[in-house]
Structure 1
Amino acid sequence: MVLNTGSRTDIPAFYSDWFYNRIKEGYVLSRNPYNPIQITQYRLNPEVIDMMVFCTKNPSPMLDGLSMLKAFDMFWFVTITPYGKEIEPYVPPKELVIKYFQELSGKIGKGRVSWRYDPVFITNRYSVGYHIRQFEHMAEELSDYTEQCVVSFIDLYEKTKRNFQGVRRVTKEEQEKLIDAFSKIAKKWGLQIHLCCESTELIRENVDADGCMSRAVLEKALGARLNVPKKKAARNECSCLLGTDIGAYNTCLCGCLYCYANYDRETVLKNRKLHNPFSPLLVGEVSENDVIKQAEQKSWKNGQLDFFDLI
């Protein structure tokens, strides 16, 4: 199975102590965001977890403790965008995150870390030309440390429209111009671009629309085939393995205006006060009314990939 930690919050940036405590204890609890009395318990055991997937804007707090995860296979997505503090108020400076990315890659291998340049949006300050220049700069800095980049355009969720006033969709013409330029830059620096839930019309020579956390991406990183159980996708156009997330919504402290996972800053800070690094839950404690169910966990591995699967 694949254990996902990053679709609901940024665990490496803000909850690394909690996560490492869960590794020591050997299990973690995850509360159902749509039925809060239901809790799923996952064993943190490499015999049943084929891959741990992290998604973060700052891997630094977890870097020194990565040896605690040596029994597990990992895949990391690190988001590095060109936006300033007015958009991402609590994200470290980009040059620092690039250094953290490089350090992470050195520890786990360039085939197991992916750069996310998303979401892309357009304003007077963050113009098409600005994105192209910044993408070129970051691609050069990261090309020796990853093999891929994930790109997507902003989705206007209700939370996003409320917290990011005045934001608009990226037009088809703008998308095509950006992807044409990104494709050429990525090819120059040896990167494959994976589009995240975008039109197949944007597919180019080294740009696919197969998903960022797809079975193919994780199989290549793992070097093994995975027999993934059939399950309804989170979104119709998404082929990524997004289930079994141990995070919690309304807990990420990055404060990004475009975030889909936070309702507002007040709710996030309220939940932060409920966080106990020694609790099996990311937020709060187990109550007598909660129903805890052990997850069905088993390895999906089914043999090693051969040479032709990897090219």
Structure 2
Amino acid sequence: MNRIREGYFIFKNPYNAKQMSKVSLRPEDVTAIVFWTKNPAPFMKYLDELQDRGYRFYFQYTLNGYGPEMEPFLPSLEKRIETFKKLSEKIGKEKVIWRYDPIIFSNVHDGNFYREKFSYILNELKDFTTRVVISFVDEYRKATVNFKKLKEEEIEIYQPPEVIIKSFAAFMAKEAREAGLKIQSCAENMAFLPEVGIMPGKCIDADYIEKVFSLTLPEKLHLKDKSQRQECGCVVSKDVGIYDTCLHGCKYCYAGNYEAGRKNYEKHDPNSPLLIGKYDDENEQLSLF
């Protein structure tokens, strides 16, 4: 919020710490902000200020029903469902998108587990959102390391046969359709998903932004973001996230781990234009975005 109030932030390239860019956060320079979260409760007190300052925003809100064996430092599922409803009531259900991902099959989390959890959460949220986004886990390098640690805790990740995945996908599509929700996939290349009624989605979606905020965006903002992987349909945007800054400690995370997050959190300076660490503006070369 300090960066919002000052109208800019400094973004450090996660792959090249010497490469930094100054990004404008002035309302007139921001088409919309997309928040990804598993727990927006601490942030909700700032929503009125964001709206008063003229920002447009919507949330990608993950609720997947894992327990502390996978998400050890999150509030309970019931509390997060309650927060989802409050957020929806405050800003409108079309601005809170439910994410049911990543779907990870293991000896603890099988098809029965997911059918039960998906149905339960869907029933709770069907009046508080308009769409659900699903994806199946990808074995990124950092996630693979965490999967090995899970095995030590007797949770073994496995890839089920395609027929099992297709059956569960069809189940989710049917349940969502009957509840009146649109269901989409995120960065998936499984050919059978459209067959069962799950079309590719875009988390950062120019068409959706135009519809929700009654805008007409220039054609260049409808183009796919070339910096994203091929399966990703998101349009051009600026990602401001930094690896190893989350304290949720989710065991399947590909963006860091809890211990690294704790160390970085200790370095956090609310007055710095960087998310993590100090910034020496006399000795840095910046590009502008």
TM-score if structure 2 supplies the norm length? 0.89
Q: Are positions 1:31 and 2:7 aligned together?
A: no
After superposition, the Cα gap between the structure-2 partners of 1:205 and 1:177, relative to the gap in structure 1 and judged at 3 Å, is closer
Tell me the CA shift for residue 219 of structure 1. Answer: 2.9
Question: Residue 3 of structure 1 aligns with which residue?
Answer: none
Question: Is the CA contact (8 Å cut-off) linking 2:169 and 2:196 kept in structure 1?
Answer: no
> How far off its partner does 1:291 sit?
1.7
1:277 pairs with 2:260: no
**Offset at 1:197?**
1.5
1:190 Cα shift? Answer: 0.7
State which drifts further: 75-84 or 231-240: 231-240
Residue number in structure 2 paired with 1:236: 230
Aligned twin of 1:61: 42
Relative contact order higher in (CA < 8 Å, ≥ 6 apart): 1
Please state whether the residue corresponding to 2:28 is helix, strand or coil. Answer: coil
Aligned counterparts of 1:239 and 1:59: Cα–Cα separation in 2? 25
Offset at residue 154 of structure 1 (A): 0.6
1:115 aligns with 2:98: yes
User: Is 2:115 the counterpart of 1:132?
Assistant: yes
- Counterpart of 2:136 (choices 145, 149, 153) is 153
Mapped contact 2:176–2:182 kept (Cα < 8 A): yes
Please give the alpha-carbon distance, in whole angstroms, between the structure 1 residues aligned to 2:71 and 2:208.
28
Aligned residues: 275
Write out aligned runs for 1:158-177 (5 A). Answer: 158-165=141-148, 166-177=156-167
| Partner in structure 2 of residue 292 of structure 1 | 286
After TM superposition, which residue ranges in structure 1, 4 or more long, deviate above 6 angstroms? none
Is the counterpart of residue 212 in structure 1 residue 206 in structure 2? no
CA contact (8 A) 1:153 1:170 kept: no
Rate the CA distance shift 1:108–1:204 in 2: closer, same or farther, 3 A. farther
Q: Which amino acid aligns with 1:171?
A: P
Q: Which secondary structure does the structure 1 equivalent of 2:27 belong to?
A: coil
- Contact map agreement 2:60 2:203 (CA 8 A) in 1: no
Match of 1:73 among 46, 56, 72: 56
CA deviation string 1:191-218 (max 9, x = no partner): 1111011223211565211333333333
2:50 corresponds to which letter in structure 1? L
2:186 aligned with 1:196: yes
More helix by share: 2
Distance 2:109 2:145 in 1: 20
Q: Using the alignment, how far apart are the partners of 2:169 and 2:208 within structure 1?
A: 20
Q: Residue 173 and residue 242 in structure 1: after superposition, are their counterparts in 2 closer, same or farther (change >3 A)?
A: farther
Percent identity, please: 36
Structure 1 position 286, deviation (Å): 1.0
Query: Gaps spanning 5+ residues in structure 1: where?
Result: 1-19, 296-311
Please list every run of 5 or more consecutive structure 2 residues that lacks an aligned counterpart in the other structure.
149-155
Q: 1:225 offset after TM fit, Å?
A: 3.4
Contact 1:90 1:254 (C-alpha < 8 Å) held by counterparts: yes
Q: Which residue of 1 aligns with 2:169?
A: 179
Q: Is the 8 A contact 1:37 1:289 kept in 2?
A: no
Q: Deviations over 1:60-89 (max 9, x none)?
A: 011122111111111101100111111011
Moved more, 226-235 or 34-43: 226-235
Q: Residues 233 and 223 from structure 1, CA distance in 2 versus in 1: closer, same or farther, beyond 3 angstroms? A: farther
| Cα separation, partners in 2 of 1:170 and 1:284, compared to 1, 3 Å | farther
Name the counterpart of 1:222: 213
Contact kept in structure 2, 1:160 and 1:258, CA below 8 Å: yes
| Equivalent residue letter for 2:184 | H
* Matched position secondary structure for 2:98: strand
Superposition deviation, residue 237 in structure 1:
1.2
Distance 1:172 1:26 in 2: 48
